[in-house]
Amino acid sequence: MKNVIAAFTEKQVERLTGVSVHRLRYWDRTSFFTPSFAQMDRSAPFSRIYSFIDVAALRVLSALIKEYKVPLQHLRKVSQKLGKMDSASWARTTLYVLNKKVIFIDPADGKQREVVSGQYTIGIPLQKILADANKDVQALSQRDENRVGKIEKHRNVSHNVSVVAGTRIPVRSIKNFAEDGYSIEQILEEYPTLTAADIEAALADADKDEAA
């Protein structure tokens, strides 16, 4: 910014920002936006001189009013916030508008804050949620070792037919594969979550039911 003009008159600011001289003076009188270089006697010529950062801030405020319809009460806080920022902070800060409210990323900690209340927005890392959900799903699918190689019936599982414990796989389905000539290894390819002990228990249970 070394080659950028550092001081601007009201007329120059009007051309650069689209904010009229009348509005600039009104904002100054109401302390909504005060130029960086201002004399006590505002009636004197060139009594209001604006810095480059002033110009940038006014362009932001103008856009927030015209394009995003942000109310002046909210913009007063935005104006105060922008006025306290140096050029380095400007380069690191991003503003967002949501429901006519301005949110900025605080360069001090990288978190998003709503300008007026100062409250932080809550970030939800979806990638982490997906990873955690996947981990829990895998844990859910893991069977209790005490149930491996056992058969059970549960009225809410597969219409109360015999199933491999900890699963919804009916004993009859495993028996059907065996009757079709499938070996235990081949049946395990069809049901990779089962073990050889599960297959043996299922076949034994099916044979017991047939004998009965």
pLDDT tens-digit series, residues 182-208: 999 999 999 988 899 999 999 999 888
What pTM was estimated for this model as a whole?
0.50
Is the pLDDT confidence value at 134 over 60?
yes
* Cα–Cα distance measured from residue 63 to residue 17, given in angstroms and rounded to the nearest whole number: 9
Positive/negative CA dihedral, 129, 134, 135, 136: positive
29-33, 87-91, 152-156: range with highest mean pLDDT: 29-33
CA-wise closest residue to 98 among 129, 140, 68, 138: 68
Q: Residue 76 belongs to a domain with what CATH number?
A: 1.10.1660.10
Q: Give the contacts of 54 (CB within 8 A, at least 6 positions apart).
A: 8, 13, 33, 35, 36
Within a domain: residue 30? yes
Q: Which domain holds residue 59?
A: 10-114
- 21 and 107 co-located in one domain: yes
Q: Count Cα atoms within 13 angstroms, Cβ side, for 212.
A: 6
- The C-alpha atoms of residue 65 and residue 73 are separated, in whole angstroms, by 11
Please identify, among 114, 146, 162, the residue that sits at the C-terminal boundary of a domain.
114
Query: Would you say residue 3 has pLDDT above 50?
Result: no
CATH of the domain at 183: 1.10.10.10
CA distance 19 to 10: 9
pLDDT of 1 higher than 70: no
Q: Do 131 and 41 share a structural domain?
A: no
The sign of the CA dihedral 96, 102, 107, 111 is: negative
Q: 69-73, 85-89, 163-167, 171-175: which has the minimum mean pLDDT?
A: 85-89
Identify any residues that bridge with 114 across adjacent strands, giving them in sequence order: 103
Is the model's pLDDT at 22 over the cut of 80? yes
- Give the span between the Cα atoms of 187 and 195, in whole angstroms: 10
- Identify residue 29 by its one-letter amino acid code: R
The residue ranking higher by pLDDT, 84 or 61, is 61
| pLDDT-derived band at 12, boundaries 50, 70, 90 | very high
Residue 14: its pLDDT value, please? 94
Residues 196 and 173 in one domain: yes
How many domains are contained in the chain? 2
41 versus 139: which is more confidently predicted?
A: 41
178-180-184-186 Cα dihedral, nearest 10 degrees: -150
Residue-wise pLDDT tens digits, 25-72? 999 999 888 898 988 898 888 899 998 888 888 898 888 888 888 888
Confidence of residue 174 (pLDDT cuts 50, 70, 90): very high
- Residues 15 and 93 both lie in one domain: yes
Compute the C-alpha angle 97/103/106, nearest 5°: 145
Instruction: Specify the higher pLDDT residue, 21 or 168.
Output: 21
In a domain, 47, yes or no: yes
Chain mean pLDDT for the chain: 82
* Cα–Cα–Cα angle for 124, 129, 135, rounded to 5 degrees: 165
Q: Note the pLDDT of residue 2.
A: 45
| Chain-centroid distance, C-alpha 51 | 36
